[in-house]
């Protein structure tokens, strides 16, 4: 089962490759990109994006895209859908500075996977995990905001987890697992 993952982010691609290989799904990377719109809703961004990808899809391939964001309760959801831009500019240091003296550390990571193929309308799969913003950066695994996100009640940041540990519990894992279960049924029906 072949699936094309449209993403320029090699970290995301390797996380997804790792997760989906357990389902016998062979992932290929397409770095051509797609139009990302501005929206407060990650689902809206992914739905628009996967429709764009579908327009240029000329073969029978199955395509996925993924968008994710860190939503911090005390900051009204910031950085949310603009997590990538915010990481590139103010980074983890900026987030920790904004959270100085803030008692409510609650945050969630949201991932949305969008799927399409020539035989299917777009379908979205969402994964959410809850945790807290740490008081300082910890760990060197993962990417982006991983070192400042303490997962659940483990006390460990995503940055302190090995790739295997993170892949077994992350927002991206939850969304991709939903996609994988859907896709296996989808392939059966087509066979």
Residues that bind a copy of itself (CB under 8 A): 35-38, 40, 45, 48, 75-82, 85-86, 88-90, 94, 97-98, 100
Nearer to a copy of itself by C-beta: 94 or 152? 94
Cβ closest to a copy of itself, residue 40 vs residue 187? 40
Token couple for 158: 């995503």
Q: Which of 67, 119, 121, 164 is catalytic?
A: 67
Please state the closest distance from residue 100 (CB atom) to a copy of itself, in A: 7
Residue 146 designated active-site: no
Nearer to a copy of itself, 28 or 97 (CB): 97
User: Which DSSP category does 94 fall into?
Assistant: H
**If you count them, how many residues does the chain have?**
191
From CA 122, how far away is CA 64, in angstroms rounded?
A: 9
Give the end-to-end CA distance of the chain in Å, rounded to a whole number: 11
Pairing of strands 149-151, 106-117: unpaired
Written as six digits, the tokens of 127 are 């994964």
User: Which residues participate in catalysis according to the annotation?
Assistant: 67
């Amino acid at each position: 089962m072949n699936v094309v993952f449209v993403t320029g982010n090699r970290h995301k691609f390797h996380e997804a490759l790792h997760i989906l290989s357990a389902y016998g799904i062979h992932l290929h990377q397409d770095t051509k990109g797609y139009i990302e719109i501005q929206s407060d809703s990650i689902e809206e961004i992914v739905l628009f994006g996967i429709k764009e990808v579908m327009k240029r899809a000329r073969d029978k391939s199955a395509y996925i895209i993924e968008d994710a964001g860190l939503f911090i309760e005390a900051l009204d959801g910031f950085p949310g859908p603009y997590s990538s831009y915010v990481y590139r500019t103010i980074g983890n240091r900026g987030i920790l500075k904004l959270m100085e003296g803030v008692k409510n550390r609650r945050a969630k990571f949201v991932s949305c996977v969008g799927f399409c193929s020539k035989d299917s309308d777009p379908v979205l799969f969402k994964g959410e995990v809850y945790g807290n913003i740490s008081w300082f950066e910890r760990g060197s695994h993962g990417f982006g905001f991983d070192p400042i996100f303490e997962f659940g009640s483990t006390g460990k940041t995503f940055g302190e987890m090995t790739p295997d540990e993170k892949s077994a519990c992350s927002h991206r894992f939850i969304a991709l697992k939903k996609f994988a279960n859907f896709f296996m049924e989808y392939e059966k029906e087509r066979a």
